[in-house]
Amino acid sequence: MIAWLIFWLAAIVAIGGQIPLILAAWRLYRQPFQQAPANVPRSDGRADLGWTILTALATLALFGAAYLALP
Amino acid sequence: MAARSLMRILLVGLGLTLATIISGALVTISASATVCSSWPLCLEELVQSQNPLVWISLLHRLFVALALLAVFAGLVAVWRSSDTAGLPRITAGIAAAFFLLQALAGALLVWGVPAMVADVWHLSGALLAFGAQSLTIALIAVPTPATPERLAGRAAQMQRRLRSLAWWSAAAAGVAALAIGARSVVPGFGMMTAVPTNSVSAVGFAALLSVWMALEARRRLRPVAETPALALALPRYSLFLPALALLALLGAFIPVAGHLISLTAIALLWAATIIAAVILQRVPFSFATATAGVRSQPAWRTVVADYISLTKPKVISLLLVTTLTTMFITEAGLPSWWLVIWTMIGGYLAAGGAGAINCAFDSDIDINMGRTSRRPVPSGRISRRAAFIFGLILSVLSIIVLWVFTTPLAAFFALLGIIYYAWFYTGWLKRSTWQNIIIGGGAGAIPPLVGWTAVTGSVSLMAVVLFAIIFYWTPPHFWALALVKQKDYARAGVPMLPVVAGEAETRWQILVYSAIMVAVSLLPVAIGAMSWIYLIGAVVLGLRFMRDAWAVWRVGDQAAIWGLYKYSLLYLALVFAAMVADRLIIG
């Protein structure tokens, strides 16, 4: 019971936390590097968004595996 | 009460506690406890059997009684003295409590309570009382100066380093004393309950630290006019500390009587290191700084120091902590010490090799940053080519060491870590995207996988969870540093998040990543790999992390950012330590 409670609490925070990260990556994709100095290289916004989504999916997979391993 | 009388009482108490410990070890060696079956006296056995072993047992009990009186007399004297308010009163109370505990544990043993816990606590209680008594004496004999002198620059750095080295030495000597104590009480019982080490390696670690501290104390400490005579003994006689440690180590290899030698030597080392730590904490010294040392160093030593600095030893130390602690929490049980040593060597070579290659690739960036401009490659002391070849050699050696002495999978993960950090992160991510720290964090998260697979030879869900904890820990940690050093990063043309997206965006993402990290840190409990000890640790440490991350988001000043940066280092080490504690105590 405690294990389930901890799992769902952690899952809500960790997976829910991906939403603001994806939104932030989207924001930077739409308005890229307004403050960056000229000598700083500009990255590909789509690739940055892609990395963020990939990280979110990997986290989802981790929690999926943890769900299957719940006692 | 006069200070001299107070000190005499405390010293007599300390001496009697040591006599209690030594006579107790004699009782164990001679097995005389078995002939003395009543408590507190065994007069019947003395009259009836005429067995001389009874005298050893009685002598021990006499020392216990005298020491108990002396310890409580010391406690009363400390509380009555007007000069000893504060900490000495607490430590004297702790000493009395531990001594009472050991006496009661001794009585339980004589009464035939077959509890190993009582057996272990009998000697451990005496050792802990001995440590607390030493601390009380040191705190009273070395008072805090009325106007503490504030050092600056390298002297302050040296002072901090020596102080922390002294406290670590005292802690290591304490652990070693408890480990030897456990083995002395229960012959053949090599592993102290709840202490993650066996006695030989614990003493070895204490010996290493005491050698280091003794050498540093001799090289660096310079007395000033106000340095009291007691404190002068520290740089002058510091070599006695490693001598005691080596004696304790030697005793571990001598059957029977060796326990007595080890126990006495390690107890004295513990007391001496505690007193040394208090002296360094309170007494004014001046310090021979590293700059002065470097000027007088021969050329070969400078070259060696430069090559060692290419391996980034400070960064590696935290990586190795995660590798080491992981090795103690796998489902395969405790690893052998040889496996631990080879994994540490392989891990250092792998991380050091990747670090050296990073120094070779990043010299154009490093030269533009205050924090890194004095590194050997940007300052021209080592060429990029030499640094690269050095890194490559270390990397190859690491793979060989891990492959031969641990498991092929551990060697594979070390290779993956090297490629990830040296090429993927350094060569591409760092220079091209603000995601550099997030995705690059995967490189720093590999050491637990090396530790895990070195022990088990396979990857399990828990190993991946450890990877994820460090992965999500990395952005808050490095972005805190990047917030402070963002001008450096902008000058060097590195697209760190604060440079490309501003402070507000970075502070917000620090908060989000911190929350995810704390959530992921709870997964080991959910999947049944850890229990309540780790849960309490993870929650308490995580709440503190969130408080600091919240302060960075809401306040965002330098104090809040530095606070998070420094605490994040401690957090990672403590979370992994909590896992080890959970595994060793709960199983």
Domain boundary among B459, B483, B515: B459
| Long-range contacts (CB closer than 8 Å, 24 or more residues apart) made by B372-381 | B375/B309, B375/B310, B376/B306, B376/B307, B376/B309, B376/B310, B377/B310, B381/B302, B381/B306
Number of domains in chain B: 4
- Whether residue B444 sits in one domain with residue B335: yes
Provide the CATH number for the domain around residue B479: 1.20.120
- Whether residue B283 sits in one domain with residue B347: no
Cβ-Cβ contacts under 8 Å, A48 against chain B: 433-435
- Whether residue B117 sits in one domain with residue B29: yes
**Alpha carbon of A19 to those of A57, B496, B516, B550: distances in Å?**
11, 21, 11, 19
Domain boundary among B459, B479, B503: B459
Indicate whether B183 belongs to any domain.
yes
- Whether residue B188 sits in one domain with residue B114: no
Provide the CATH number for the domain around residue B320: 1.10.357.140
Q: By a Cβ cutoff of 8 Å, what residues of chain B touch chain A?
A: 431-435, 438-439, 461, 464-465, 468, 490-491, 493-495, 499-502, 505, 508-509, 512-513, 515-516, 518-520, 522-523, 525-528, 535
- Whether residue B471 sits in one domain with residue B428: no
* CA-based end-to-end distance of chain B: 50
- Whether residue B168 sits in one domain with residue B136: no
Picking from A10, A17, A24, the nearest residue to B526 by CB comes out as A10
Residue B134, domain extent:
1-141
* pLDDT tens per residue across all 587 residues of chain B: 577 788 888 899 899 998 888 888 777 777 766 666 666 667 666 666 666 777 777 788 888 889 889 989 888 888 888 777 788 888 889 889 988 888 887 777 766 665 555 666 778 888 888 999 999 988 888 777 766 666 666 677 777 888 888 888 888 888 888 877 765 555 544 444 444 446 777 778 888 888 888 888 777 777 666 666 677 777 777 788 888 888 888 877 777 677 788 888 888 988 988 988 888 887 777 766 555 444 555 677 788 888 999 998 888 888 999 999 999 999 888 888 889 999 999 999 999 999 999 999 988 888 888 778 888 888 888 899 999 999 999 999 999 999 999 999 999 999 999 999 999 999 889 988 999 999 999 999 999 999 999 999 999 999 999 999 999 999 999 999 999 988 888 888 889 999 988 899 999 999 999 999 999 999 999 999 999 999 999 999 999 999 999 999 999 898 999 999 999 999 999 999 999 988 887 76
**pTM, whole model, 2 decimals?**
0.65
Domain boundary among B141, B171, B198: B141
Going by C-beta distance under 8 Å and a sequence separation of 6 or more, which residues neighbour residue B462?
A: B329, B330, B331, B452, B524, B527, B529
- Whether residue B384 sits in one domain with residue B441: yes
Phi, psi of B106 (to 5 degrees): -65, -40
Residue in A with minimal Cα distance to B435: A48
Indicate whether B147 belongs to any domain.
no
Cβ-Cβ contacts under 8 Å, B488 against chain A: none
- Whether residue B288 sits in one domain with residue B216: yes
- Whether residue B363 sits in one domain with residue B254: no
Distance CA B482, CA B501 (A): 12
- Whether residue B336 sits in one domain with residue B267: no
Burial classification of residue B171, based on how many CB atoms lie within 10 Å of its CB (0-12 exposed, 13-18 middle, 19 or more buried): middle
Tokens of B566: 């420094």
